[in-house]
Every structure is written in C-alpha cells, then in structure tokens.
Amino acid sequence: MLPGETKSLLCILKPVLVGSHIPQLKLMIESITRLDKDIRDRYKHQHDHVIFDSLPGAGPQFAPQLLVAFGTNRSRYKDATDIQKYAGVAPVLERSGQKSWTHWRYSCPKFLRQTFVEWAGQTVKQSFWARAYYEQQIEKGKPHNTAIRSLAFKWIRIVFRCWKTKTPYDESKYLEALRLRGSPLLKYAVNN
C-alpha cells in the first residue's frame, strides 16, 4: 500500500471506528448516571448528611465525598490531627542535625487529599473567613497551592468538630468565635 492509499483508507475507516464506539459510550454514560443517582440517594439516607450539606462550597459533589472521608464511626479519629495526617493535608516536618524542612505527606490516599484541597478551593468563593485566610496567605508570599492546602488543614479541624458534635456548620457562629478570640484574620478581612 502506498502512503496516499493509507491516508485515504484511514479517512474511510474513521467514521466506522467512531460509530462503533458510540453504543459503548452511551452504555457508559447510562451507567455513570445510575451510579450518580445511587450515590445521591445513599447520601441523603445518611444521618450526617445535614452536617456536610451545611459546608460552604461542598454542594452535591463534595458533600458525599467529605461524608465518606469522615465516615460514621466517630471513634475512628481521636482528634482532627488524625484525619489531617491520614488525608495527607498535614505537613511533615523533618529534622537532621541543625537543619529542618517541611514537605507534604507522600504516603496517603491521594483522592482523599485531592477532595479536601479542591473543596477548600471552593470555600474561598463561599466563605467570608476562608476568603480572608486565603488572601492573607497569598499576601505572605505563599503560592496558591500552599495557601489552599493550608486552608484545607484549617477546614478539617472545623469539620471534625462539627462531625464529632453532630452539629451543622454555621458561618456566623464561627465568625463570632473568631471575634471572641481576637483573631487577626477578621482585622485582615475588614482592611481588605
């Protein structure tokens, strides 16, 4: 076969090949749709869904993922640092002699870390204090990814408390707690 003939044969076969994949794609789309509906239904039957529905930016995608991350066994994690470390959001501090350095955790469930970090990114658009915290970190010279991971670290502590006490998140209560503690974050938010 000559090079020109190969090209013309491929031009003829492309529609046939694409056409042969369409039924498979339709079947896959139907399966994904059924799975999404099943996840939504199972999520809504969980008692804790109220907690995760209350989180800013969680929505129908992140709320079920966050519920699964925490689970229903409240004795699984004794404190927020357990889940921060397990999820790979907590930084690792290493020391050798006079030197020390910080890096992110390499051995962790990557999808879980990604869930927390991506959700924290969404909260910047939905939460007053999260936006202020993010901007504060950026002004300190932190890169975007570092600022979002740091925000995820803070969010895990907050969600852990809500999860442990079976209490939905309330932004106004959290802002009031920041005010009572004299958090510089609120001063930062007011000035910007």
Query: Are residue 38 and residue 62 in the same domain, yes or no?
Result: no
Q: How confident is the model over 19-39, as pLDDT tens digits?
A: 888 899 999 999 999 999 999
Determine the Cα angle at 110 with ends 47 and 99, to 5°.
Answer: 120
Query: Are residue 161 and residue 81 in the same domain, yes or no?
Result: yes
Query: Are residue 16 and residue 90 in the same domain, yes or no?
Result: no
Rg of the chain over Cα atoms, rounded to whole angstroms, equals 23
Query: Are residue 13 and residue 96 in the same domain, yes or no?
Result: no
Query: Are residue 6 and residue 56 in the same domain, yes or no?
Result: no
| Whole-structure pTM value | 0.81
pLDDT for 83 equals 94
Give the integer Cα–Cα distance in Å for 113 and 108: 8
Q: How far is CA 161 from CA 83, 133, 136, in A?
A: 12, 19, 24
pLDDT for 14 equals 80
Query: Are residue 2 and residue 95 in the same domain, yes or no?
Result: no
Query: Are residue 87 and residue 11 in the same domain, yes or no?
Result: no
Give the residue numbers spanning the domain of 25.
1-45
pLDDT for 159 equals 97
Query: Are residue 30 and residue 63 in the same domain, yes or no?
Result: no
Query: Are residue 116 and residue 23 in the same domain, yes or no?
Result: no
Query: Are residue 19 and residue 53 in the same domain, yes or no?
Result: no
Strands, E, within the chain: which ranges?
92-96, 99-103
Query: Are residue 52 and residue 30 in the same domain, yes or no?
Result: no
pLDDT for 91 equals 82
pLDDT for 102 equals 80
Q: How many domains does the chain have?
A: 2
Give the integer Cα–Cα distance in Å for 87 and 37: 26
Query: Are residue 10 and residue 65 in the same domain, yes or no?
Result: no
Listed as ranges, residues in the chain with pLDDT below 50 are none
